[in-house]
Structure 1
Amino acid sequence: MIITVINQKGGTGKTTTSVNLGCALAYAKKKVLLVDLDPQGNLSYWLGISDPAHTMAEVMMEEIALEDILHEREGLKVAPSDMHLADVEINIASVENRESVLKRALIPLADQYDYVIIDCPPSLSLLTVNALSATDKVIVPLQMEVLSLQGLDQIVNSIDRIKGVLNDKIEILGLLPVMVDSRRKLSREIHEYIDENYDLKIFKSKIRSNVRVSEAPSFGESVLSYSPSSNGAEDYKAFAKEIIRLTKN
């Protein structure tokens, strides 16, 4: 199962979700591959991978096999990124079937993992299009705020276009409420608005605001490793269980 975590708006908990969901799935004894497809390399940095010898930039240029760049962290494998990935879009713009480079790279590995989770840049770039072309399901981390709704329309429209042209099996698995403060009336109102106006599932799991999640990257660990008894760790373990249930064949 290939899952892409996407939001075209920055600061929405996309990388946080990719790291901690991946580690929670590994905690649940699933074989997991995390793919960092963001030139900022935040996922790689989070898990303590700095200055890797080989990265997704070389994979996307088809210079090296994906399996040859992997690092092991917390029971899962990580395909790291760095700033050189930003040059890839220009370099592959003239490549035939440029939207399918990642899909081709994943083919030899797909059957080795229960879950491949792709963390994308916060834009509908050629890198994001590659992720969406390769993926089965999409998870959208979403803050329960008014401005998030504008971004949600963009995401839905983008995925509809990908579905019509490049990947007819893609679907949004669900929206994940993040940085949730249950005391805020607005959060409940946004939830109700989405229910009434979109044909989209909102996961039962919710990720509460939690300082331990924010601290974890400084230690090169997921929140599950850094603070196992925190709300953040508990929320992501619950979310992993929900994903496993929803993706059972």
Structure 2
Amino acid sequence: MARIVAVINLKGGIGKTTTVVNLSAGLALKGARVLLIDIDAQGNLSMALGVRARRTLYEAIVDHKPLADLRVSARPNLDLVAADESLLLAQQAIAGRADWVRVLEQLVRPLRSEYDFIFFDCGGSLTVLNQNALMAATEVIVPTTVEPFSVRGLEKLIAQIARVKGSTSVVRAIIPTMVDPRMKQSIELLAHLNRTYGQLVMPPVRVNVRLSEASAVGKTIYEHDPRSRGALDYAQIVELLSKAWSFQPQRATPQPATPIRPAAPAARAEPVVTGGGEVQTNVCPNCGHTLQRATVAGYRITYCANCRYRRQELINGS
């Protein structure tokens, strides 16, 4: 049964859609079967993946169409149920239903056996659909920028999740985004996040213009610039989450959903995200924990999940 992952933050502009796209694309490259569901009326997922979808989530909510009929193939192993501004009307329709908080859960139930992961790309406020996503979710991922308002808002979001779900145990990861290691405030707030939330905090995604460029041209970061900092940072998070979820890559590639005018993805000359086991012979020089490894777009990355030590080198040279 698929893990249902809500990617949410009550603040806009902090990289939610970028995180959804590049986490899901990384998992799909590792062999996972992934379904993305856009529940934000801005419909940014379609643009970020370069997909033109004629049918949207509105039809499932209002016209009671099965989600299986609305999904499109965005990439191999990666399907999408798109959204647009019609979702604003759909939320009004949901609010009048007796089961208003379970609508998304009921919609995705028939598809859980077809996928390894189902991601909800949530909007920037606690809307009816976002509450639905939290109710349906088995896991919650929270991207956040390292800014004072964002960090303060994170505390409020965690409290909201506790009220909706009854506990905060569903929070799987907090992903610091747009981190500039040259700024003292970024370093201090990142340290505060690590002290407050411990192992929930993933390695930071550094400021990288390639990430915004990729979304603008409808590509994942692995297609746009697989050797960029953004690709390396997101690939490392994919490896850590894969291990936390005990996901084992599948050898067989499942049949994708019927495509509806998808934009052609850029050709890949080599696997982008591979690896993901323990390096039994190496220990972290900082803390003594066992080092992990990942191979990303021609680079070999060795890192420590405990203290954030990281080393990268070209596979064909030092």
TM-score, normalization by structure 2? 0.73
Label 1:26 to 1:198 Cα distance change in 2 as closer, same or farther (>3 A).
closer
* Cα distance, 1:62 vs structure 2: 5.1
Cα shift readout 1:150-209 (whole Å, capped 9, x = no counterpart): 211221111011112xxx696111210111111222122112223344577211x22111
Give secondary structure in 2 for the equivalent of 1:92: helix
- 1:201 paired residue number: 200
Q: Whose helix fraction is larger, Structure 1's or Structure 2's?
A: 1
Specify which structure has the bigger relative contact order, considering alpha-carbon pairs within 8 angstroms and separated by 6 or more residues: 1
Q: How does 1:53-202 map to 2 (within 5 A)?
A: 53-61=54-62, 63-75=64-76, 76-164=78-166, 171-198=170-197, 201-202=200-201
- 2:313 paired residue number: none
* Cα distance, 1:54 vs structure 2: 1.4
Is the 2:141–2:174 contact (alpha carbons within 8 Å) kept by the matching residues of 1?
A: yes
CA distance in 2, matches of 1:197, 1:17: 22
* Cα distance, 1:53 vs structure 2: 2.2
Cα RMSD (Å) of the superposition?
1.7
CA distance in 1, matches of 2:86, 2:169: 28
CA distance in 2, matches of 1:97, 1:149: 33
Is the 2:145–2:151 contact (alpha carbons within 8 Å) kept by the matching residues of 1?
A: no
CA distance in 2, matches of 1:133, 1:196: 28
Is the 2:144–2:174 contact (alpha carbons within 8 Å) kept by the matching residues of 1?
A: yes
Q: Who wins on radius of gyration, i.e. which is larger? A: 2
- Name the stretch that deviates more: 36-45 or 228-237: 228-237
- 2:34 paired residue number: 32
- 1:218 paired residue number: 216
CA distance in 2, matches of 1:170, 1:56: 28
Q: Which amino acid aligns with 1:70?
A: R
Matched length = 244
CA distance in 1, matches of 2:236, 2:197: 24
CA distance in 1, matches of 2:168, 2:9: 19
CA distance in 2, matches of 1:45, 1:236: 19
Give secondary structure in 2 for the equivalent of 1:108: helix
CA distance in 2, matches of 1:182, 1:196: 18
* Cα distance, 1:5 vs structure 2: 0.5
Label 1:20 to 1:197 Cα distance change in 2 as closer, same or farther (>3 A).
closer
Is the 1:138–1:170 contact (alpha carbons within 8 Å) kept by the matching residues of 2?
A: no
* Cα distance, 1:42 vs structure 2: 0.4
CA distance in 1, matches of 2:113, 2:180: 39
Task: Give the counterpart of 1:48 among 39, 47, 50.
Answer: 50
Label 1:39 to 1:183 Cα distance change in 2 as closer, same or farther (>3 A).
same
- 2:283 paired residue number: none
- 1:228 paired residue number: 226
Is the 1:3–1:138 contact (alpha carbons within 8 Å) kept by the matching residues of 2?
A: yes
* Cα distance, 1:60 vs structure 2: 2.0
Gaps of 5+ in 2: 248-318
CA distance in 2, matches of 1:81, 1:96: 24
